[in-house]
């Protein structure tokens, strides 16, 4: 079965077409993939080769999509319109911030303490969870308020609090809590005043 372009399916695409009615997770296990094959399934869907049928799965207690070969004559969906430049900039900024937060969290506290300047080695946050000082991507307002309060409490008793704040200000930190101050809010406030 060739798609609308006339190209024959690859081995993974053929496996998906030969085993109708499986979920993405079941297909991943069958194909021996470490993650779910959503990219493959979306590509097949854009070519008009498969369709997703959503139904409630009692064993999972939620709706799941089961993938089936598309009926003959299925027309592929039209291509998505290009994103607006402002939306592209917003996504890039979000991804950039998320990546920096992820990298900061990936550093164990001992590594963070080793990277700190010598005059900040006695910091109270040395043994604290780094995630306490940086926002999560999907953090709710309540969780953010609670996390910030805990981080500021750690900073309140720190013997090097002023030096920590000054070092972060000198580096121009765009996010995180340094010396008891939320630099992301400070950065937003400075931008608001500048505009």
The model's confidence at residue 86, banded by pLDDT at 50, 70 and 90, is very high
**The tokens of 188 are what?**
């937003």
pLDDT at 7: 66
Average pLDDT of 62-66?
88
More confident residue, 117 or 75: 75
Q: Could you tell me which of 2, 25, 29, 5 has the C-alpha nearest to residue 13?
A: 2
* Residue 1 pLDDT: 44
Residues 174 and 183: beta-carbon distance below 8 Å = yes
Q: Integer distance in angstroms from the first to the last C-alpha of the chain?
A: 58
Give residue 110's pLDDT: 52
Taking the C-alpha atoms of residue 51 and residue 14, their distance in angstroms, rounded to an integer, is: 15
- Crossing angle for the helix pair 38-46 and 11-18, nearest 10 degrees? 80
With a cut of 80, say whether residue 30 has pLDDT above it.
yes
Of 72, 67, 19, 21, the closest CA to residue 44 belongs to 67
HSE, CB side, 13 Å, CA atoms: give it for residue 190.
11
* Confidence at residue 190, expressed as pLDDT on a 0 to 100 scale: 61
pLDDT exceeding 70 applies to what percent of the chain? 83
| Beta-bridge mates of residue 67 | 22, 52
Q: 38 pLDDT exceeds 70?
A: yes
- Find out whether 12 and 28 touch, Cβ atoms under 8 Å: no
> Which pLDDT score is estimated for 2?
43
Question: Which of 162, 168, 73, 69 is CA-nearest to residue 112?
Answer: 168
The model's pLDDT over 5-20, given as tens digits with 9 standing for 90+, comes to: 556 777 888 888 888 8
The alpha carbon of residue 119 and the mean position of all alpha carbons in its chain are separated, in whole angstroms, by: 34
């Amino acid at each position: 079965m060739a798609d609308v372009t006339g190209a024959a399916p690859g081995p993974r695409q053929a496996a998906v077409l030969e085993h109708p009615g499986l979920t993405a997770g079941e297909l991943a296990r069958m194909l021996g993939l470490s993650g779910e094959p959503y990219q493959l399934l979306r590509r097949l869907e854009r070519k008009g080769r498969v369709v997703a049928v959503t139904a409630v799965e009692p064993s999972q207690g939620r709706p799941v999509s089961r993938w089936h070969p598309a009926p003959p004559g299925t027309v592929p969906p039209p291509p998505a319109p290009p994103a607006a430049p402002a939306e592209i900039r917003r996504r890039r900024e979000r991804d950039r911030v998320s990546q920096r937060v992820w990298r900061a969290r990936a550093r164990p506290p001992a590594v963070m303490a080793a990277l700190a300047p010598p005059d900040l080695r006695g910091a109270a946050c040395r043994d604290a969870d780094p995630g306490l000082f940086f926002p999560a991507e999907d953090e709710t307002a309540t969780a953010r308020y609670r996390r910030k309060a805990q981080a500021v409490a750690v900073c309140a008793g720190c013997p090097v609090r002023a030096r920590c704040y000054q070092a972060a200000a000198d580096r121009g930190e765009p996010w995180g809590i340094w010396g008891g101050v939320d630099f992301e809010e400070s950065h937003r406030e400075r931008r608001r005043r500048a505009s």
